[in-house]
Structure 1
Amino acid sequence: MGPSKREEKEQSIILISDDEAESTLGNSVLLVDPLEKSALEEEKSEEVVDEECELMVTFCKQAKVMPHARYDCTIHPFERMECDTCSPLGKNADICNQCYCYICDKLASECQNWTTPSLCHCNAHNKSKFWKDQRDFALAGVLVMFNLDLTDIDADLRHGGSLLIKFIQELSVEYNKYLVGERMPPTQHECFCLPKLPPGQCNICRSRNMEIVYKYSGVFALVTRFLNQAERESPKAAAVMFLGAAKEIALHKDPALSWQNLGHTDSLKLAVPCLLQSLNVVPWDHVLLTTVLKGQNVTGQRTQKGRKVFLWETLPVIEARVEKLVDKKNYKEVVRYLRAVKCNDTKGLRDLRDKIPFYLCKTGDFLDAAHSLLFPVNSLACCTACRITPFQFEVYLKMFRTGSVPTGKDMLEPGPWITVGSPLKDGVLVKQALKLLYNNVSLYRNPKCWSSLIMILGSSNFLEKSGHLHPLSLKEPPLDFQKGVLAASGGLLEELKSKINVSLPPAILSPHLHHEACLILAVQAVQQMLFCDLPYLTSFLEIALAFGNNFWALRLLLDHLSYEEHVLHGTVNLILRDLNRQKATMLKLWQNLGPQYVGEFLCLFLTCRHKKMQSIGLFTLNIITENLHMCPWAKHLCNFFHNAGLRHLPLGTAAHHEVSKFINIFEKL
């Protein structure tokens, strides 16, 4: 028997994805509407086939709403923002009986902060870094600051974390009281002068009666009690408590504008070093630390009473110091400190040291930054170049090319750029860039990195405040010059792969054609990469597009590919696949670049002597012909073909036919 009408109306299908990242909608649950009368009732089909997704539904039943995060609810709409916590967005506060809180990991109806102002868990979702961090904090508590895996957090660590979070809350209250300060009657001012006089009788202390006094004693007492409590806990809990306390007090600042004559517990400048010493944390004014920060000690070690003493600190303390120095924009001190300090957490310290090249760029020392990417701090570590991403590679090249840096604390933060120093010379830039590629196989096999290199070499060293480069249209150099650079580049590239110090040959150091010489060297490097690593390449079109209007350089690359038949065929197949997959994107790009660029691009491929390469031009021409409604510039392209005499060039039968067919379309209009 078939289902009743009521059951038929309520029938639906739920598709559940186990990978949220693969979903274009960002949902882990997709609800397909009940059978529609207009389609299924008329056709009485027993099968529903989605040809695009290759999904066949042969049976469906009454849907059950599964437990889901609020943002995945199919009943109530959800609005996404990065970090809105003031109040519920839209209808985000509405829930069904299976909605879960993304932060608390429990039913939304049980969440105490679902609509609480400044918290608003109802707005939380998995596409926001802010909300992901909030979720991690909710699951790991304050222990998230120690970068622990959730599987490593046992009862002792959780106990230490709960005591630490309570302490941090109490410390925040006490520290805020300290920052407010208090006014004291002159008769209550204790005298710390020599000789010491009774309160109210010292003229020096009386002159300070209008000042606000900042007494740190309340904070000092609270921290001392907490440290005493930590000593009575288990080793794991104590470690969490000690490190957390050290990280908090290391960030405390003295609001007083001038020196205040206070006791050792009342004065922050005296109390904090005392507390840090009890935690085995070096105070800021310690001779070893100060000499490192000033650049007087580059090793972080000194001999004291016949034995070597090292600047050795725990990772939370190192992170706190780095954060404070970066906040004050003391980038040179950050670099000196990170190069000298030692830590048991080698991976955590390595991650912090990986930012040294960026901090050097912030100081305007781009040459040292380029070297720091390639040379580790010590002989036992690997270089930062082994771990940078393709996007970081592009940003570094942009900084080296322009002498500019992003204004934020992190190189990946969006925002304006400012000039801070002189850019690297073209020869040094291309040499360092190729060394980076040769040191990191994932970068070497990534087309994004090669397109970034070619694009930046073909751009001026002027950078807009927004971070946009200005492309150059370089005139094709004489053939003799091109041959000279190509002849010198083969041996140079091999040296860059194996040697540390490499000198550039005179052909590449040409004072008048240095831009062109570097671009030719990059062409030769791309060619070598294709000959060896073509099977690993996932795309080639973006490399071709990176040449911009410098078609002579792209032609030089394509001509050399014809020496190896399998490389030529593999490259052409990659480009054809890219064009087929990205038709809409290419049409938008051509709209922006204009008919002159598209005409040059087509002529480059259509006039290639190899028919396989001509197929790229023919495929491109077919895309334009099939989408003339999206190409209002196509008539101008037709004029370009006429002016270039493309009908009369020895293109080959297929190419001539397609070009003539394209021109005839507009001649009939």
Structure 2
Amino acid sequence: MRSGGEGPCDDNTSLEAAVAEESVIVISDDEADVSLGLGNSVLLIEDAGENSFVKEKKTVEVLDEELAITFSRKAHVMPHARYDCSMHPFTRVEQETQLPLDQNASFCDECYCYLCDKPASECTKWTSQGHCHCNAHNKSKHWKEQRDAALVGVLTMFKLDLTEIDTELKEGGNKLQRLISELSSAYHKYLEGTLMMRDSVQRCVCSCHRDKTVKCNSCAMNHVPVTFHDYSEVHRLVTGYLNHIEEDGPKAAAVILLGTARELVFHKALPNPFTLKNQIANMKESSVSLMSRIVATLQRLLVLVDYPNTLYDKFISFFQCLPLPSHFYSFITSMKVMRWDNCLLTSVLAGQNLTGIRTNKGKKECLWEALPVVQSRVKRLEDNKSYRQLVRYLNAVQCSDLTSLNTMKQKLCLYMCKYGDFNSAANTLLQTKGMQGSIAKFFNSSLFELHLAMLRTKSCPPGNELKWSEVYEPQNGVSLKKGLLIRIALRVLLCNDHLFHESKCWSALVRIWCTHETLSNEGRLQPLFVIEPDKVLQQTVMTMSCTILDELQRQTNVHLPQPFHKAYGSSAEMILIIQAIIRYLMGTNPPLKGMLELVVAFGVNHWAVSLLIEGISLMTELLFQFVSSINRELYEDEQRIVGLFISRGPNYVAHLVPVFLLHQREGVRIVGFHLIDIVLKNLNR
């Protein structure tokens, strides 16, 4: 085809290239020009046969000055729906399913069934009475609904638009269809029941079974076959799918869970001669257990996954429209899960609402959520490192499971340290919002030491778990007020009996106060040498400490005297801790335990160990218990002491041994000799 004003084509090369083209569509240059007898811009050329055209290829038809036809070929017919076929006329009506209309049953090789989406020749219901797919077309509401149902299958129950259905949803629908089929078979077996001898399930206790010579007719009813309805197979089938639900995509998982819930709703409980011992065999108990698991998983998905709003609403609406029987009534409001953009929730996360309570149109509304929802929100906020919002949420949310909620609140101090609010984190150890008391009442010695390490070094262990770590991550934030941490640490110990009487807690307290406030370059805790004050100051602070400890048992805001604010502030705090340890030793029933660990916790601060021993020297029985505990542990765990000596070096040993060896009391000197024996036995190491 040539255009412009150049005239007919007389170039053999150009003509052969034109002949090689597969097809040509001739388009008019001017849509307003109807001189060709066409009312549109497309000119259809009748096929004259390729051979005849090639034979007379030099004869070129000129339609006008700017358009010429050089080659034409019959168009290839593409696959099409039956109602679009150009070879066989089609008659349209709204709904005809009994018989083919006119020539609707005829089709060409490229005709496809509108419903089955496959060639008409392969459609099994092309002319079937009652179905008659040959009459289907896209202008009929009936046939369009049938097509939608055929395309989406079981997903029709969710009232999804075709534009919302992607590959993941289709896979979920296919899996749900298989589950429904298997579930139907298992439920049918439950309805049929199993014929069993009554005494095979419940042993007969009639006296005639003890004396086999006596025949008894009174218990005959206990030895006849009866029908039992066992729901175990249904329970195992659904559980098997639920165990692997995380392997599916979030959309597919939601579809499977909701479809399974719908099936369970329509299961009916049949009476048994007596209650089966196996809980999963009883329909009501088993189905409630399954529904609880389904609902909890759905709640987590709705929080953790960003479903499109329309899909989210349809999932919620689907569950809320289920006709729940009486044994499922506890799940009626279970799907009222707040979106992340809920006004109340966003105001809490933004810090605009600290209580989680508001009045909306005269009605009081509070931030109450089910436990799986709370756990999922906490996880998502943790993963996003939104620690400030997480603290606000945990302080405001309410939940029926207070024990689990309080367990999550135990990490509040960690979260606060993550964003550098160390003063609030320290105060949380004494008073936690929404709890009776504080998170410290749940502490053991390990958690107590971890929290003190975070607050003293302004750092956190990596990750989101409360686990002791060798390496810490420093956090930016305002340092704790002077003296606040020591007051809080002692207040926690004095007000919690289980911590107060645990020697490991006191060892942890000493260990942290013998740790530098700055981490090493590698993020590790560094030992600290606390300057030894003069003897006068030691005795002065020891005396003051008794009054301070008495006050700390009543309140936290205790005034620390001048020595705690001068250059010897750290030494004064160490002396206060020693006085608190003496009070602990006096209040502990013998035998004492963990005294060697306590001594080792002082590190290179041997003067503090001497001051501790001096403080209990006048109490003969207490001193004896203290020394006996150290000697016993030296015998029982000698190798650990050897390893400690090796790691800390000979200088540490050289200063530790005289603390005991040069004491005026013979019982204390025995510990010094014991330490020398250990050194002599391991000189080669």
> Cα deviation per residue 1:222-264 (whole Å; 9 max; x = unaligned)?
555345345446544333322221112321136xxxxxxx882
Confirm or deny that 1:445 pairs with 2:498: no
Q: What is the rounded CA distance, in whole Å, between the counterparts of 2:641 and 2:291 in structure 1?
A: 60
In structure 1, what is the equivalent of residue 241 of structure 2? 166
In structure 1, what is the equivalent of residue 532 of structure 2? 476
- The Cα shift of 1:466 comes to 5.2
From the superposition, tell whether residues 156 and 556 of structure 1 become closer, same or farther in structure 2 (CA, over 3 Å).
farther
Contact 1:393/1:449, CA 8 A, preserved across alignment: yes
Computed over aligned residues only, the root mean square deviation of the Cα atoms, in angstroms, reads: 2.8
Confirm or deny that 1:298 pairs with 2:357: no
Contact 2:491/2:552, CA 8 A, preserved across alignment: yes
Contact 1:292/1:300, CA 8 A, preserved across alignment: yes
In structure 2, runs of 5+ residues without a counterpart are 1-229, 268-283, 321-332
In structure 2, what is the equivalent of residue 264 of structure 1? 310
User: What SS does the aligned partner of 1:309 have?
Assistant: strand
TM-score relative to the length of structure 1: 0.59
User: What SS does the aligned partner of 1:463 have?
Assistant: coil
Question: Which amino acid counterpart does residue 484 of structure 1 have in structure 2?
Answer: T
Given candidates 225, 234, 252, the residue that maps to 2:305 is 252
Confirm or deny that 1:601 pairs with 2:656: yes
Percent identity between the aligned chains?
Answer: 31
- The Cα shift of 1:425 comes to 4.6
Given candidates 507, 530, 533, the residue that maps to 2:588 is 533
Q: What is the rounded CA distance, in whole Å, between the counterparts of 1:544 and 1:374 in structure 2?
A: 28
Contact 1:157/1:237, CA 8 A, preserved across alignment: no
List aligned pairs for 1:454-465, cutoff 5 A. 454-464=510-520
Contact 2:488/2:556, CA 8 A, preserved across alignment: no
Confirm or deny that 1:573 pairs with 2:628: yes
Question: Which amino acid counterpart does residue 473 of structure 1 have in structure 2?
Answer: F
> Cα deviation per residue 1:317-338 (whole Å; 9 max; x = unaligned)?
1111111110000111111111
In structure 2, what is the equivalent of residue 367 of structure 1? 423
Q: What is the rounded CA distance, in whole Å, between the counterparts of 1:581 and 1:220 in structure 2?
A: 58
Contact 2:474/2:523, CA 8 A, preserved across alignment: no
Report which of the two structures shows the higher radius of gyration computed on alpha carbons.
2
From the superposition, tell whether residues 583 and 174 of structure 1 become closer, same or farther in structure 2 (CA, over 3 Å).
closer
From the superposition, tell whether residues 226 and 411 of structure 1 become closer, same or farther in structure 2 (CA, over 3 Å).
same
From the superposition, tell whether residues 221 and 551 of structure 1 become closer, same or farther in structure 2 (CA, over 3 Å).
closer
> Cα deviation per residue 1:95-146 (whole Å; 9 max; x = unaligned)?
xxxxxxxxxxxxxxxxxxxxxxxxxxxxxxxxxxxxxxxxxxxxxxxxxxxx
Given candidates 212, 216, 225, the residue that maps to 2:259 is 225
Contact 1:399/1:423, CA 8 A, preserved across alignment: no
User: What SS does the aligned partner of 1:480 have?
Assistant: helix
Contact 2:254/2:298, CA 8 A, preserved across alignment: no
Confirm or deny that 1:239 pairs with 2:295: no
In structure 2, what is the equivalent of residue 515 of structure 1? 570
Given candidates 592, 595, 603, the residue that maps to 1:548 is 603
Question: Which amino acid counterpart does residue 490 of structure 1 have in structure 2?
Answer: C
- The Cα shift of 1:361 comes to 1.4
Q: What is the rounded CA distance, in whole Å, between the counterparts of 1:220 and 1:227 in structure 2?
A: 11
Q: What is the rounded CA distance, in whole Å, between the counterparts of 2:491 and 2:643 in structure 1?
A: 35
Contact 2:491/2:556, CA 8 A, preserved across alignment: no
User: What SS does the aligned partner of 1:558 have?
Assistant: helix
Residues 583-592 or 326-335, more deviating = 583-592
From the superposition, tell whether residues 220 and 570 of structure 1 become closer, same or farther in structure 2 (CA, over 3 Å).
closer
Q: What is the rounded CA distance, in whole Å, between the counterparts of 2:245 and 2:616 in structure 1?
A: 69
Equivalent pairs, count: 423
In structure 1, runs of 5+ residues without a counterpart are 1-154, 176-215, 255-261, 631-669
Q: What is the rounded CA distance, in whole Å, between the counterparts of 2:366 and 2:500 in structure 1?
A: 38
List aligned pairs for 1:30-429, cutoff 5 A. 163=238, 166=241, 169=244, 172-175=247-250, 222=256, 224-229=258-263, 231-232=265-266, 234=284, 235-253=288-306, 264-265=310-311, 279-378=335-434, 381-412=436-467, 414=469, 416-420=471-475, 421-425=477-481, 427-429=483-485
Q: What is the rounded CA distance, in whole Å, between the counterparts of 2:446 and 2:233 in structure 1?
A: 37
From the superposition, tell whether residues 297 and 226 of structure 1 become closer, same or farther in structure 2 (CA, over 3 Å).
farther
Q: What is the rounded CA distance, in whole Å, between the counterparts of 2:440 and 2:580 in structure 1?
A: 18
> Cα deviation per residue 1:374-406 (whole Å; 9 max; x = unaligned)?
213236x34211111211111111111110111
Q: What is the rounded CA distance, in whole Å, between the counterparts of 1:357 and 1:274 in structure 2?
A: 39
User: What SS does the aligned partner of 1:302 have?
Assistant: strand
Question: Which amino acid counterpart does residue 228 of structure 1 have in structure 2?
Answer: R
Contact 1:417/1:465, CA 8 A, preserved across alignment: no
> Cα deviation per residue 1:284-334 (whole Å; 9 max; x = unaligned)?
111111111111111111112323212111111111111111000011111
Contact 1:489/1:524, CA 8 A, preserved across alignment: yes
Q: What is the rounded CA distance, in whole Å, between the counterparts of 2:481 and 2:264 in structure 1?
A: 56
Contact 1:547/1:554, CA 8 A, preserved across alignment: yes
From the superposition, tell whether residues 286 and 434 of structure 1 become closer, same or farther in structure 2 (CA, over 3 Å).
same
In structure 1, what is the equivalent of residue 219 of structure 2? none
Residues 319-328 or 494-503, more deviating = 494-503
Contact 1:445/1:536, CA 8 A, preserved across alignment: no
> Cα deviation per residue 1:197-228 (whole Å; 9 max; x = unaligned)?
xxxxxxxxxxxxxxxxxxx6x77755553453
Q: What is the rounded CA distance, in whole Å, between the counterparts of 1:367 and 1:553 in structure 2?
A: 28
> Cα deviation per residue 1:610-641 (whole Å; 9 max; x = unaligned)?
222111111212222344444xxxxxxxxxxx
Contact 1:488/1:507, CA 8 A, preserved across alignment: no
In structure 2, what is the equivalent of residue 13 of structure 1? none
